[in-house]
Amino acid sequence: MGSDYWFDQDYVEQIYIDIYNTLRHGTFEAEEVSRFLLAGVIDSSTYHPLRRVVTIHGRDKISELSSIEMGGFTFLNMTAGEVISQLAEKIGLKAKVDPTQGLVGQFYQYEHKSYGLSGMHRHRTAWDFCVEMQRYYGYDMWVESGILHFQSPGNMENEAIRLSFSSSGNVQGHNQFMFSDAAMTRRYGMDASVQVAVSSWDTKQRCSHGALYPPSPFSGAKKYNISLPAGKTQDQCETIASQKYSEITAHALAISAEVHPALDISPRQLVVIDGTGTGFDGQTYVVDDVSLSISTSVRKQTVTLRKRIL
Whether 67 and 123 map to the same domain: the answer is yes
Whether 199 and 302 map to the same domain: the answer is no
pLDDT at 266 over 90: no
pLDDT at 115 over 70: no
Final residue before a domain boundary, out of 224, 249, 274: 249
Q: State the average pLDDT over residues 234-255.
A: 87
Domain extent, residue 231, equals: 194-249
Does 117 reside within a domain?
yes
Whether 129 and 258 map to the same domain: the answer is no
The count of other CB atoms within 10 Å of the CB of residue 270 is 17
Whether 142 and 18 map to the same domain: the answer is no
Whether 298 and 268 map to the same domain: the answer is yes
Does 96 reside within a domain?
yes
Whether 108 and 245 map to the same domain: the answer is no
Give the model confidence (pLDDT) of 66-100 as tens digits: 888 877 677 777 888 999 999 999 888 899 999 88
Of the given ranges (11-15, 70-74, 166-170, 288-292), which has the lowest mean pLDDT? Answer: 70-74
pLDDT at 106 over 60: no
Give the long-range contacts of residues 24-33, CB within 8 A, separation 24 or more: 25/262, 33/262
Does 27 reside within a domain?
yes
Q: State the average pLDDT over residues 223-241.
A: 85
**CA separation for the pair 184, 102 (Å, rounded):** 41
Give the CATH number, domain containing residue 263.
Answer: 2.40.30.150
pLDDT range class, residue 309, cuts 50, 70, 90: low
The answer to whether the beta carbons of residues 202 and 179 sit under 8 Å apart is no
- Residue 19 has a pLDDT of 81
DSSP secondary structure string for all residues of 171-228: --SS--SEEEEEEEEE-TT-SSSEEEEEEEEETTTTEEEEEEESSSPPTTPEEEEEEP
Identify the DSSP state of 119.
G
Whether 127 and 212 map to the same domain: the answer is no
- Residue 108 has a pLDDT of 45
Give the CATH number, domain containing residue 102.
Answer: 3.55.50
**CA separation for the pair 178, 167 (Å, rounded):** 10
pLDDT range class, residue 299, cuts 50, 70, 90: confident
Whether 107 and 172 map to the same domain: the answer is no
Q: Give the number of domains in the chain.
A: 4
- pTM score: 0.72
**CA separation for the pair 102, 99 (Å, rounded):** 10
Whether 146 and 204 map to the same domain: the answer is no
Q: State the average pLDDT over residues 8-31.
A: 70
Whether 170 and 280 map to the same domain: the answer is yes
The answer to whether the beta carbons of residues 310 and 154 sit under 8 Å apart is yes
Query: Strand pairing partners for 306?
Result: 254, 286
Does 1 reside within a domain?
no
Q: State the average pLDDT over residues 157-167.
A: 86
Whether 293 and 171 map to the same domain: the answer is yes
Q: State the average pLDDT over residues 274-295.
A: 91
pLDDT at 162 over 90: yes
Q: State the average pLDDT over residues 25-31.
A: 51
- Residue 114 has a pLDDT of 39
Whether 71 and 144 map to the same domain: the answer is yes
Does 168 reside within a domain?
yes
Residue 297 amino acid letter: S
pLDDT range class, residue 102, cuts 50, 70, 90: confident
Of the given ranges (6-15, 113-122, 190-199, 246-255), which has the lowest mean pLDDT? Answer: 113-122
- Residue 156 has a pLDDT of 63
